[in-house]
Chain A
């Protein structure tokens, strides 16, 4: 069965600092991995996804993630945080029995001026 663990329910960085949000997965089959962002009182928006084409995946708003099979990780990074990046971020793995996504519990990112 697939599962996702996001380390840290809350991460705080200063504006301009590196953003690193951690995600580890467990999967019995080659995983397809996703990062979604949720701004306050909004739905989820896709940031990027890994579908085995390339291990380094670039997404919107300057975010990227690297798939590391040996570490079963898919961490999300951004070199320089902006105030507008404050949101909740969800890592998800595809492969539920109905084709659904299996989500981590989310990491809330705060950006300090």
Chain B
């Protein structure tokens, strides 16, 4: 079992370029999340998907779009990257969107926007 995988691990973009961050899970979980981590800020929720075909905005959605392609995959797209989007991005999964359930995190994508 790979758990939660993310690709790529590292990426450098120029301002205005676009890219898609990929997340896949083999845990058969329904809920998936995208967070960003910035120094001294903890993790903040970008987007959330309760199940295949549904997505919702989190705390910091501006500049991002998401797709829940199927139960396994949840992608995050930056249409026109900005330096403020330099961050570490984590995908997480949860069996259901239930408060007591553990969230499992991928290894992260480290993105730099020049």
Contact = CB atoms under 8 A, between A and B. Distances in A.
B43 interface: yes
B48 A49 contact: no
Chain B: interface residue count, which band?
20 to 34
B94 interface: yes
A16 B102 CA distance: 30
Contacts, number: 64
A94 interface: yes
A28 interface: no
B40 interface: yes
Contacts of B100: 32, 49, 51, 94
Interface of A: 9, 32, 34, 36, 41-46, 49, 51, 90, 94-96, 98-101, 103-106
26 contacts: A9-B40, A32-B99, A32-B100, A41-B108, A42-B108, A43-B90, A43-B105, A44-B90, A44-B105, A90-B42, A94-B99, A96-B45, A98-B45, A98-B48, A98-B50, A98-B56, A98-B58, A98-B97, A99-B31, A99-B96, A99-B98, A99-B101, A100-B33, A101-B43, A101-B103, A105-B41
A46 B105 CA distance: 9
B83 interface: no
Nearest to A31: B99
